Copies of this chain bind each other. A is one copy, B any other.
Amino acid sequence: MNDILGNQNPLERHLGYWMRLVSNEVSNAFARALADRQISVAEWVALNHIASRAHSTSSAIATSIGMTRGAVSKILDKLESKGLVSRVASADDNRVQTLSLTRDARRLLPKLTAIADANDDHFFSVLDESDRNALRALLQKLADLHQIRDIPIE
């Protein structure tokens, strides 16, 4: 249906338009699902960052997701106030705070991962496996060729 007019609409000529259209749908659905648990996408990304490495720090997260240290500080404030993250001054360097997940967060994270899996599955299972593989290959190729690094938040 979308191309029944031959993409006459000037916007629809662009691949970037279709990328955005589809990407927004998946991401917004995920953001809504997370919001039911009072978690923002930025918080979800931060939790994953902390979970997946031994000594996560505020600066490392900022670099990784391409946000300022100030913004990350606020995200960590929220996670701490929800009892999900604790900040402990590093023994090596007193300026540095080592971040870790609380017991509650370790219990919560698998549920959030299940939500993410379900969201992705719901959206992409309408394609067969070869289409999904083709899409993944094309997206990774673009990411590689343009050397995209920041983990997407928005």
Q: Which A residues contact B (CB, under 8 angstroms)?
A: 1-3, 9-11, 13-27, 30, 45, 48, 51-52, 113, 116-117, 119-120, 123-124, 126-127, 131-132, 134-136, 138-148, 150-152, 154
Kindly state the separation between the CA atoms of A20 and B65 in the bound complex, as whole angstroms.
Answer: 13
Kindly state the separation between the CA atoms of A62 and B59 in the bound complex, as whole angstroms.
Answer: 40
Using Cβ atoms and an 8 Å threshold, which residues of chain B touch A25? 143, 146, 148
Option from B2, B117, B134, B143 in Cβ contact (under 8 Å) with A143? B2
Summarize A's interface: helix, strand, loop or mixed. Answer: helix
Kindly state the separation between the CA atoms of A152 and B12 in the bound complex, as whole angstroms.
Answer: 11
Distance to closest chain B CB from A66 (angstroms): 9
Distance to closest chain B CB from A142 (angstroms): 5
Option from B20, B22, B119, B138 in Cβ contact (under 8 Å) with A26? B20
Option from B22, B113, B123 in Cβ contact (under 8 Å) with A139? B22
Cβ contact within 8 Å between B126 and A145: yes
Using Cβ atoms and an 8 Å threshold, which residues of chain B touch A123? 15-16, 142, 146
Kindly state the separation between the CA atoms of A102 and B82 in the bound complex, as whole angstroms.
Answer: 51
Using Cβ atoms and an 8 Å threshold, which residues of chain B touch A134? 134, 138
Using Cβ atoms and an 8 Å threshold, which residues of chain B touch A119? 16
Kindly state the separation between the CA atoms of A25 and B144 in the bound complex, as whole angstroms.
Answer: 12
Distance to closest chain B CB from A21 (angstroms): 5
Using Cβ atoms and an 8 Å threshold, which residues of chain B touch A22? 19, 23, 139, 142-143, 148
Query: Knowing A16-B120, A22-B148 touch, does A45 contact B154 (C-beta < 8 A)?
Result: no
